């Protein structure tokens, strides 16, 4: 008999076996020495050791993470940060209390900042505060053995990045959400991960079999459980290998329906190592990367769009105008709103800032001559928004024509992510195409935030209400000859693909890493309902 | 050893999009530390002045884009320190191509 079993939802598909490693709880018990000099020595040692740990972490971090860690090191090295703590120690406080109080003041200063970017730094300071406290209490840095299955309530992206995943391993979380940042990291590095695992009865070091395909964990497996795991994981490995061999094949369902499978990219660099033959084009090119550092000029945008269009040749490239706002703030552009997901984001923001939107329109119009460009607008809710955006493109095209600059008007389509559009798409029949943004559509239909772990169970694209709306949009598109595609996370999720095909979708856009399994899933699915033959 | 010849001052407009943010602050304090001169900065001509070598103090000014940075240095290489700091701010702290968080 196996010791115990538990189940959860799959956040990153795959199999792993290894010793269980529970993340330590943050409750820190510090034993004061009672001597001021000794407390000061301890705090100094903890600060040095914390800075060293961050420096070690920095060696393997990518550029973006390194920037954050460098800031943390600079803070730890700065005596101004610890001065109030040392003063409190001299006045009789113990090192842990003195440090906690000093940092609480510092954190509060950042939390009170008007600027969202300075406010966000409070999380860095919390990270610094906790790290030094752990050093003070002698709690070791998180260092699970290689290949361990990490278990805990939740896992932060920093913790994930601090771990060595080169020798396998997996993640089993009690809380957590498949939409969280750490789940995205796990998927991109192929680390198997389950979330929502409630009742894991196990001890540190127990052998655990993690099946993050069907969503189960076996602790202390018996011979039979081991055999079942070996055969399921081998079958999965074969499927992945097989899928990779056939990634250049056109995706066709069991009942013979060809499905377009395109890719979602976040920046031109994403296509550099991608085999053009493995996809049917770019279904979504995001442009937020251009706005990472304020507002980009026309030449920068034009060069980026042109790179991808030239890479794709004749295949379509759908570029989305900047989708800032919501959870994607852009300094100097987005507003600080109390409810940003229901605020001025996507096309709403673009239309409110024609000075910025015009520049993007001109860059797109000029880039259009270099390939098969389509342009789509995010967060369109009513017909007037599409009309105004189209008008702005017309105006810029006229300007370019007058100046004798080569350009072309691309088909202008919309993202379908606001429930109003999915419920009555006829209002937006003027769109050249529809691309369903299933992430936002799901969170708006289910009234459950994407990154909120507490409601992750509700944030389900396979809920009948969401599928019904997707089906309605697909049928409307088919009736009016408006192409319909889907570019949300669901498009690449093997668990969601069959339902999306049954709902009538014939075009999906997925991340490049998801191409092989998405195509293999399509090849094993039916597009038509076998009972009544309806799409 | 105070000597009026070893004082330098300047003011420069912050044009960097997010202002004196984490990475720019790290660069600025690192650069300041490379000089022997005591360096200080402020958001107003009459202060309050903070140590330009302290990341904690510099970040705490929370200087947004469009603010004028007043710089002051005192010591042997004061003029060089001020010139280098002004140049860094004018170059927008060499910050290009940073990322925003991008999700579906």
Instruction: Name residue A171's beta-bridge partners.
Output: A150, A193
User: At the topology level of CATH, where does A246-523 sit?
Assistant: TIM Barrel (3.20.20)
Distance separating alpha carbons of residues A343 and A502, to the nearest angstrom: 33
Best probe of the B interface among A65, A72, A113, A118, by most B CBs < 10 A, is A118
Contact B17 A294 (CB under 8 A): yes
Sheet holding B68-74, edge to edge: B7-13, B68-74, B38-42, B50-51
Spatial CA neighbour of A378 closest among A442, A434, A339 = A434
**Residue B55 is nearest to which of A75, A184, A289, comparing CB atoms?**
A75
Q: For A324, name the nearest residue in chain B, comparing CA atoms only.
A: B102
Q: Does pLDDT of B104 surpass 50?
A: no
Structure confidence by residue, pLDDT tens digits, A450-489: 767 678 789 899 999 999 999 999 999 999 999 999 998 8
pLDDT of residue A370: 97
* Range among A208-222, A264-278, A287-301 with highest mean pLDDT value: A208-222
The candidate with the shortest Cα–Cα distance to A65, out of B99, B17, B36, is B99
pLDDT at position A179 is 67
Which chain B residue's Cα is nearest to A300? Answer: B97
- Distance (Å) from the alpha carbon of B98 to chain A's nearest alpha carbon: 5
Q: What is the pLDDT of residues A118-156, one digit of tens each?
A: 777 777 888 888 889 888 877 655 567 888 999 988 787
> For residue B60, which of A110, A120, A79 has the smallest C-alpha distance?
A110
Q: Is B44 a catalytic residue?
A: no
pLDDT per position as a tens digit, A345-359:
999 999 999 999 999
Regarding predicted confidence, which is higher, A119 or A429?
A429
Tokens of A225: 């459980």
Between A43-57, A215-229, A382-396, A416-430, the lowest mean confidence (pLDDT) is in A43-57
User: At CA A459, angle to CA A453 and CA A465, rounded to 5?
Assistant: 165
- Condensed to tens digits (0 to 9), the pLDDT of residues A394-421 reads 999 999 999 999 999 999 999 999 999 9
Residue in A with minimal Cα distance to B26: A71
**Cis peptide bond upstream of A349, omega within 30:** no
Residue A64 has a pLDDT of 64
Average pLDDT value for residue range A60-70: 75
Residues A158-197: tens digit of each pLDDT: 678 778 888 889 999 987 777 666 787 787 778 999 988 8
Domain B4-93: CATH class, spelled out: alpha beta
How far apart, in Å, are the Cα atoms of A339 and each of A111, A115, A175, A343, A434? 18, 16, 24, 6, 26
End-to-end CA distance of chain A: 46
A289 vs B30, B54, B102: nearest CB: B102
Written as one string, the DSSP assignment of A69-130 is: HHHHHHHHH-HHHHHHHHHHHHTT--HHHHHHHHHHHHHHHHHT-SSHHHHHTHHHHHHHHH
Domain boundary assignment for chain B: 4-93
Q: What are phi and psi of A287, to 5 degrees?
A: -120, 5
Mean pLDDT of B4-25: 81
Both tokens assigned to A131: 């790290």
Longest dimension (CA), chain A: 82
Rounded CA gap, A453 and B68, in Å? 42
Q: How far is A489 from chain B (nearest CA, A)?
A: 7
Q: Which of A397, A421, A427 is nearest to A409 (CA)?
A: A397
C-alpha A510/C-alpha A261 separation (Å) is 7
Helix or strand run (H / E) with residue A309: helix A298-312
Closest CB to B97 among A74, A121, A293: A293
Mean pLDDT of A300-316: 96
Q: Do B55 and A74 touch (CB under 8 A)?
A: yes
At A428 the pLDDT is 97
Options 3.40.50.410, 3.50.30.10, 3.30.1300.10, 3.40.50.720; CATH for A4-20+147-156+164-242 is 3.50.30.10
- Contact present, B57 and B32 (Cβ < 8 Å): no
Q: With contact defined as beta carbons under 8 Å apart, do A151 and A21 qualify?
A: yes
Full DSSP string of A432-465: S-EEE-HHHHHHHHHT--TT-GGGTTT--TTSHH
**Range(s) of chain A covered by CATH 3.50.30.10:** 4-20+147-156+164-242
Q: How far is CA A46 from the centre of its chain?
A: 34
The answer to whether the CB atoms of B99 and A440 lie below 8 A apart is no
Beta strands in A207-287 (DSSP E): 207-212, 216-219, 251-252, 258-265, 282-285
Question: How far apart, in whole angstroms, are the C-alpha atoms of residue A70 and residue A61?
Answer: 11
What percentage of chain A reaches a pLDDT higher than 70?
94
pLDDT at B100: 38
Which among A341, A438, A349 has a CA at the least distance from the CA of A389?
Answer: A349
Using CB atoms, which residue from A74, A118, A264 is nearest to B26? A74
Q: Which of these, B27, B92, B99, lies nearest to A62 by C-alpha position? A: B99
Please, which residues have CB within 8 angstroms of residue B12's CB and are 6 or more apart in sequence? Answer: B68, B69, B71, B85, B86, B89, B90
Confidence of residue A361 (pLDDT cuts 50, 70, 90): very high
Number of other residues whose CB lies within 10 A of the CB of residue A379: 23
The answer on pLDDT for A27 being more than 60 is no
Average pLDDT of every residue of chain A: 89
Q: Which residues of B touch A115 (CB under 8 A)?
A: 18-19, 62, 64
Query: Looking at residues A39-44, what average pLDDT do you find?
Result: 92
The secondary structure element, H or E, covering residue B73 is: strand B68-74
Q: Which tokens go with A456?
A: 């992750």
**CB-based contact A367:A312 (threshold 8 Å):** no
Interface test with A, best of B16, B22, B30, B32 (most A CBs within 10 A): B22
pLDDT at A227: 95
Determine the pLDDT at residue A422.
98
What's residue A66's pLDDT? 77
A534, pLDDT greater than 60: no
ipTM (interface predicted TM): 0.80
Continuous H helices in chain B = 22-33, 55-60, 78-90
Please choose, from the candidates A223, A226, A184, the residue with its C-alpha nearest in 3D space to the C-alpha of residue A209: A226
Contacts of A486 in chain B (CB under 8 A): none
Q: How far apart are CA A146 and CA A153, in angstroms?
A: 20
C-alpha separations of A527 from A348, A443, A464, A524 in Å: 36, 26, 17, 10
Question: Which DSSP state fits B99?
Answer: -
SS3 A512: helix
The reported pLDDT for the residue numbered A163 is: 80
* Domain A36-136 belongs in CATH node 3.40.50.300: no
Those residues whose C-beta lies under 8 Å from the C-beta of residue A489, and which sit 6 or more positions away, are: A179, A438, A439, A461, B104
């Amino acid at each position: 008999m196996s010791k115990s079993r538990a189940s959860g939802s799959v956040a990153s598909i795959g199999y792993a076996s290894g010793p269980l490693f529970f993340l330590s709880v943050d409750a820190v018990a510090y034993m004061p020495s009672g001597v001021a000099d000794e407390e000061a020595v301890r705090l100094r040692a903890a600060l040095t050791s914390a800075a060293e740990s961050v420096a070690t972490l920095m060696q393997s971090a990518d550029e973006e993470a390194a920037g954050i860690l460098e800031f943390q090191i600079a803070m730890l090295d700065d005596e101004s940060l610890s001065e109030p703590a040392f003063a409190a120690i001299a006045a009789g406080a113990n090192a842990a209390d003195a440090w906690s109080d000093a940092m609480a003041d510092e954190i509060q200063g950042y939390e009170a900042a008007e600027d969202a970017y300075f406010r966000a730094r409070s999380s860095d300071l919390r990270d610094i505060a906790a790290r030094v406290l752990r050093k003070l209490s002698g709690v070791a840095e998180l260092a699970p053995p290689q290949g361990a299955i990490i278990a805990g309530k939740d896992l932060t992206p920093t913790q994930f990045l601090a771990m060595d995943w080169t020798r396998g391993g997996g993640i089993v979380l009690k809380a957590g959400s498949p939409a969280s940042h750490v789940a995205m990291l796990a998927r991109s590095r192929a680390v198997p991960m389950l979330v929502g695992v409630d009742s894991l009865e196990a001890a540190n070091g127990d052998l655990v079999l993690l099946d993050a395909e069907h969503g189960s964990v076996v602790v202390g497996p018996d011979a039979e459980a081991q055999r079942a795991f070996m055969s399921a994981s081998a079958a999965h490995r074969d499927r992945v290998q097989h899928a990779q061999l056939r990634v250049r094949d056109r995706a066709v369902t069991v009942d013979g329906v060809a499905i377009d499978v395109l890719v979602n990219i976040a920046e031109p660099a994403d296509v550099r190592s991608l085999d053009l033959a493995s996809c049917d084009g770019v279904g979504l090119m995001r442009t937020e990367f251009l706005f990472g550092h304020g507002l980009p000029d026309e030449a920068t945008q034009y060069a980026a769009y042109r790179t991808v269009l030239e890479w794709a040749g004749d295949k379509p490239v759908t570029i989305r105008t900047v989708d800032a706002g919501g959870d994607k703030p852009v300094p100097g552009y987005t507003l600080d709103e109390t409810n940003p997901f229901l605020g001025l984001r996507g096309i709403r923001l673009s239309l409110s800032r024609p000075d910025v939107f015009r520049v993007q329109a001109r860059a797109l119009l000029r880039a259009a001559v270099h390939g098969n460009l389509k342009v789509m607008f995010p967060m369109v809710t009513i017909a007037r928004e599409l009309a105004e955006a189209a008008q702005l493109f017309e105006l810029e095209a006229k300007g370019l024509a007058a100046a004798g600059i080569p350009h072309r008007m691309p088909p202008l389509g919309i993202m379908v992510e606001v429930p109003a559009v999915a419920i009555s798409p006829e209002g937006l029949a003027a769109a050249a195409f529809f691309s369903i943004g299933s992430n936002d559509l799901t969170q708006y239909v289910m009234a459950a935030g994407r990154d909120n772990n507490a409601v992750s169970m509700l944030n389900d694209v396979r809920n009948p209400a969401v599928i019904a709306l997707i089906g309605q949009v697909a049928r409307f598109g088919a009736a009016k000859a408006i192409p319909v595609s889907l570019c949300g996370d669901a498009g690449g999720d093997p668990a969601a693909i069959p339902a999306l095909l049954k709902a009538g979708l014939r075009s999906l856009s997925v991340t490049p890493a998801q191409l092989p399994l998405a195509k293999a899933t399509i090849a094993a699915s039916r597009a038509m309902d076998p009972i009544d033959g309806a799409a | 050893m105070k000597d009026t010849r070893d004082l330098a001052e300047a003011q420069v407009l912050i044009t960097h999009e997010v202002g004196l943010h984490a990475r720019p602050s790290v660069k600025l304090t690192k650069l300041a530390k490379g000089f022997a001169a005591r360096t200080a900065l402020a958001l107003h001509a009459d202060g309050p002045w903070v140590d330009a070598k302290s990341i904690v103090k510099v970040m705490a000014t929370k200087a947004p884009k469009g603010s004028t940075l007043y710089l002051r240095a005192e010591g042997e290489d004061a003029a060089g320190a001020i010139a280098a700091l002004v140049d860094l701010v004018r170059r927008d702290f060499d910050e290009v191509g940073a990322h925003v968080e991008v999700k579906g």
